[in-house]
Amino acid sequence: MVEEIKAIKVRPQPKSETRKHIIVVRVQHNFGVLTRITSLFAGRGYNIESLTVGKTHEPNVARITIVVEGNERVVEQIIKQLRRLIETLRVRDITDIPHIERELVLIKVHAGEDKARDEIMRLVNIFRAKVVDVSVDTYTIEITGDTEKIEAFIKLLKPFGLKDIARTGVLALTRESAKEGLQDNKVE
């Protein structure tokens, strides 16, 4: 005979940590496709950290790089929903795949006194950044790198007084040298 369950039983729920994911999406470059993607995030309350779009070498194919915070479960849902869009060609989470990650940032920083100007120039050199515009009291600096480097640079500039920042968001490509065993189909 089957025993009726007496105690309160609970389904075990898998736990997973929240972290940053880089998702690369290739889409048919039709008008409206970007709205479909962003409204997919907005409608479900997923928070996009950055999103970049650009054409590719293939005609009518655009590549979108999305950075989101989330646990495995949420990110898996995001990926499934992205794959579900009719115009999606391929979706990959490249977070755990060897990849090159770059962001380009323009920073306006206060640089009035000589001491500050010297100090900022030193940082610019260390980080291999570039001063692209100079005014009486401002340097405009261009820097590229991965998120870590950029964040470190910005943190060091902060005490001088930041006036404005423009960031492209993360771009990423997987390393060709480590491409074996990649699973990149649209459908699992």
Partner 1 sequence: MPKKRGADIVIDVLLEEGVDTVFGLPGGAIMEVYDALFDAPLRNILARHEQAAAHMADGYARATGKVGVVMATSGPGATNLVTGLATAYMDSIPMVAITGQVPTHYIGTDAFQEADVVGITRPITKHNFLVTDIKDLALILREAFYLARTGRPGPVLVDIPKDITQQEYDYKMPTLKDVEDALPGYKPHYEGNPVQIKKAAELIRRAKRPVLYVGGGVILGEASNELRELAELTQIPVTTTNMGKGSFDENHPLALHMLGMHGTYYANMAVYHSDLLIAVGARFDDRVTGKIDEFAPEAKIIHIDIDPASISKNITVDVPIVGDVKNVLQKLLKELKKKPVEWEDARKSWLKQIQKWKEKHPLTYQKSDKIIKPQYVIEEIYNITKGDAIISAGVGQHQMWAAMFYRYNFPRQFLNSGGLGTMGYGFPASLGAKIGKPDKTVFAIEGDGSFVMNMQDLITAVQYRLPVKVAIINNEFLGMVRQWQQLFYDSRYSSVCLAVQPDFVKLAEAMGAVGLRATKPKEVREVLKKAMEINDRPVVMDFVVDREENVLPMVPAGKSYREMIVSPKQKSEAETMYLVG
Q: Which residues bind partner 1 (CB under 8 A)?
A: 1-2, 4-11, 13-14, 27-28, 32, 35-36, 39, 43, 73, 76-77, 80-81, 83-90, 186-188
How many beta carbons lie within 10 A of that of residue 159, not counting itself?
11
Nearer to partner 1, 125 or 185 (CB): 185
**Which structure tokens are listed for 152?**
């470190």
* Sign of CA pseudo-dihedral 22, 106, 42, 65: negative
Least separation in angstroms between residue 41's CB and partner 1 is 12
Contacts of 108 (CB under 8 A, 6+ apart): 138, 139, 140, 141, 162, 163, 164, 165
Least separation in angstroms between residue 180's CB and partner 1 is 22
Nearer to partner 1, 122 or 186 (CB): 186
Least separation in angstroms between residue 46's CB and partner 1 is 14
Nearer to partner 1, 26 or 108 (CB): 26
Nearer to partner 1, 37 or 150 (CB): 37
Nearest residue to 130 (alpha-carbon basis) of 107, 147, 112, 101: 107
Nearer to partner 1, 88 or 140 (CB): 88
Across 82-137, where does the E strand assignment appear? 88-93, 99-110, 130-134
Least separation in angstroms between residue 11's CB and partner 1 is 5
Least separation in angstroms between residue 1's CB and partner 1 is 6
Sequence-ordered alpha helix ranges (H) in 8-138: 33-43, 72-84, 114-126
